[in-house]
Every structure is written in C-alpha cells, then in structure tokens.
Amino acid sequence: MFKYFIMIISIILVLSIILPFLTVFLNVDYQLVIEIAKSKEFIDSVKVTFFAAFIATLIAIVFGTPFAYLITRYNFPLKSVLEAIIDIPQTIPHTAAGIALLLTLGRNSIIGKGASIFGISFVQTFWGVVVAMGFLSFSIYVNAVKEGFKKVDIRYEKIARSLGASPFKSFFHVALPMVRHEIITGSLLMWARGISEFGAVAILAYYPMTLSVLTYDKFQGYGLKQALALTALIFIISMIIFVIIRIIQNIWKYTESR
C-alpha cells in the first residue's frame, strides 16, 4: 500500500516536470523551429551563452577550488560567515542581484572606472554576461568541490608531506586529483546553471543576447509563437546537456566500481 502511495506521489512529481515540456512540443511550429535554429541571431546567442558560461566556470575553478579547500581544511574565525556569503546569491531574486551588480560594476562605479582603463566594461557587454552568470552560479561549483574535499581523508595529504611534498605540491598532486570528479561535475552543473541565467544578465547586459534574454525578447517583441519555437530549441539543448552529464557520471560510476 505504502509503495503504491509513494509511487503515485512520484508520478505526480515527474508529470509536473514533463508536462510543460510536452505542451511546448505539442504546440510548437516545427517549421519555425528550423528557421530560428538557422538564424544568425540564434546562433550568435548560443555562442554568447555557452562561451560566457564557460568563461564564468573557468573563473570559478581558479578561485572556487582554493576557496573550497580553505573552508574544508582550515578553521578560522568567521568561517561559517564566509560560507554563508558564498551562498547569498542563491537566496536573493536574480533581478535584485543584477541591480547590485549594475551598481557595483557600472560605468560610474570605482570598479567600472578602473576596468575601463583596461578597455573592459561590464554593462551591455560579453563580460557583463560572464559576471552575471558567475555571480549567481559560483556557489554551485564551490559547494560541489567542498563536498569532494570533505570526503578526502586529510591523512593522504599528511602522508604526501612526509614524502617530501610541500603544502602546494600536496594540494596539486594529492588533494586536487582526488576531487577531480567533483570538479568536473561542479563545473558542468555551474555551466548549465549559467546558461539558464536570466534576471541578472538582463539587467547588467541585455546585449549581447543570451538564449534566455533572446526568448524574453522574442516573447515581448513577436509574441508567443516565436518565443515558443525558441523555447523548444532551448529544451532540446538542455536535454542534450543533461544527458551528456548523466552519461559522464555513469561512466565514472562504472569505472570506479570495477
């Protein structure tokens, strides 16, 4: 009886996720999907979205990995505050985050003025997209890698030190390779989350248009039919990405269980 009860609950949950997908694919004009898929506007927006999310993820790897290690391995005052700060962007509305970023990085801000000396601007530019995506998805990467470091017994690193490794070498040769799966999974999840970012991106850098901004733009400018075709394309891309992530994870599980 209990089994059937939780099965029904699970089916309702799965249906609630599948239903919007099905509705889109049942109502979309497939001719228009093909047309949009071939358009320069769509291809450019795919490039901007994927590449900006990729750059944001690379930046997260460089800064987030040592941060995750610091949080896991060392005790210091206000550590829990530092951990909470990283998670803040997850808890605030993304449009609010966009406004905060606009004020912090805008042309009249100290950072904005400083960056302009090097010819970099964050408002309505590719770098703005990168920052907005990174700001809101950074914690996904950090938390994934943090969990990885937590699973690695510190004694591996102690042994490495006794064998002549400096703290740097012990980190690069022992700790880091042992969390490689978490680094890759965290990167993929952050990248995928970055791709879907809308609120902050739309406020800080409406142009160049990402896929989410383009969908909104089509909906506002051309109505539901155009937006629906674009939505169908985005669903297909998202599904491909997550299938790839699952395949990679399953390959790891298989190779590790051997």
Partner 1 sequence: MELYIKNLKIEIDKFQLYVNDLKINSGEYVYIVGPTGSGKTLLLEAIAGFIAPKSGKILFNNQDISKLPPEKRNIGFMYQNYHLFPHLNVKKNIEFGLKMKKIRNNTFFNYIVERLNIFHILNREIQNLSGGEKQRVALARALVTKPKILLLDEPLSALDQEIKGDILNLLHKICIEYNLICIHVTHDKNEIIENSRVYKIYNGILTKEK
Q: Which residues are at the interface with partner 1 (CB under 8 A)?
A: 153, 155-156, 158-166, 169, 173-174, 177-178, 180
- In the bound state with partner 1, the residue whose beta carbon lies nearer, of 40 and 155, is 155
- In the bound state with partner 1, the residue whose beta carbon lies nearer, of 156 and 242, is 156
- In the bound state with partner 1, the residue whose beta carbon lies nearer, of 93 and 167, is 167
- Find the DSSP H helices in 108-223: 110-117, 126-151, 154-162, 167-170, 176-178, 180-195, 199-204, 211-222
Residue type, 30: Y
In angstroms, the CA 224 to CA 29 distance is 11
Asked if residue 72 lies in contact with residue 171, where contact means CB atoms within 8 angstroms, the answer is: no
- In the bound state with partner 1, the residue whose beta carbon lies nearer, of 73 and 216, is 73
In angstroms, the CA 158 to CA 240 distance is 42
CB of 254 to partner 1, least distance (A): 14
CB of 71 to partner 1, least distance (A): 20
Using CB atoms within 10 A of its CB, is residue 231 exposed (0-12), middle (13-18) or buried (19+)?
buried
CB of 141 to partner 1, least distance (A): 21
Residue length of the chain:
258
In angstroms, the CA 156 to CA 96 distance is 43
CB of 174 to partner 1, least distance (A): 6
Q: Is 256 helix (H, G, I), strand (E, B) or coil?
A: helix
- In the bound state with partner 1, the residue whose beta carbon lies nearer, of 103 and 163, is 163
In angstroms, the CA 258 to CA 247 distance is 17
CB of 147 to partner 1, least distance (A): 17
CB of 166 to partner 1, least distance (A): 6
Using CA atoms, how far residue 16 sits from 127, 193, 238, in Å, is 36, 20, 17
- In the bound state with partner 1, the residue whose beta carbon lies nearer, of 16 and 75, is 75
